[in-house]
Amino acid sequence: MFCLDSLNKRLRLDDYRGNIDAIYERVVEIAKAHTLTKLFIKSREHDWQAFLSKGCMLEGIYKGYYNGSDAYCMAWYEDLERRTSDYWLEEDQIIKQVFAIPLKPDRPAVPTHCTLRLARSEDAESLANLYKEIFQTYPTPMHDPAYVAKTMREGTIYYLVETATQLISAASAEINTVYANAEMTDCATLPAYRNLGLMRLLMHALEEDLISRHITCAYSLSRALSFGMNAVFFQLGYRYYGRLTKNCDIYDKFEDMNLWVKSLK
């Protein structure tokens, strides 16, 4: 099962069965035919070295992704500019700073005059407006209310924090029921409401919901240049398992993404 991700100029192979040689040749052929510059393979544990021997690089490990078994993020690049990180050493410093801060596993209180709740389909337009305001570019078309509503119908859950007059923060979990994992994503808070612990609050709410659905692995890809989001996941007990070079187009350029994983068992 692969995704032709033209927005991010990559092909993502999320699942596969069969001969590794044939699979690899086919996805490289498809990527080249569509002038995509990155191939992103979620390899099963017994296959990652086969992909490595074909010239792929190990960029991260999704611990427990396949119903408790690990997935290995293997990358192949068609373009040197895409392969080369512009900020790697700066990102190393940011992750060192994150590792130095104290853990904050406790659930923050909901701020006065705010409400925390599970989003409904009628919230799609407000969510889209929030993402449009925060992100100049984004890996998925979250600025489109129809797309947000579509993700809800397909099983993604959103939690949000709102005042009496506006939506101020939101995050989602894209659930894979087959393999009992979920990607924690679409995290956004209006600038005036940052540093209130809202994202940690939303992550707690999402995790509790996921546990009730028997999801055992939560993971997230955070901008390697963002101290704040990496700090949120570190403080909540997620572990760092690698950095994906120029993985997606977010804010205004292709950016490196840090991989964080947490067991919900």
Q: Which domains does the chain have, with CATH numbers?
A: 2-83 (3.40.630.30), 88-263 (3.40.630.30)
The pLDDT mean for the chain works out to 96
For position 252, what pLDDT does the model report? 83
Residues of the chain scoring pLDDT < 70: none
Query: Residue 21: its pLDDT value, please?
Result: 96
pLDDT of residue 251: 83
In this prediction, residue 136 carries a pLDDT of: 86
pLDDT at 239 (0 to 100) = 98
pLDDT in tens, 191-208: 999 999 999 999 999 999
CB 253 within 8 A of CB 243: no
What is the pLDDT at residue 1?
82
Condensed to tens digits (0 to 9), the pLDDT of residues 95-148 reads 999 999 999 999 999 999 999 999 999 999 999 999 999 998 899 999 999 999
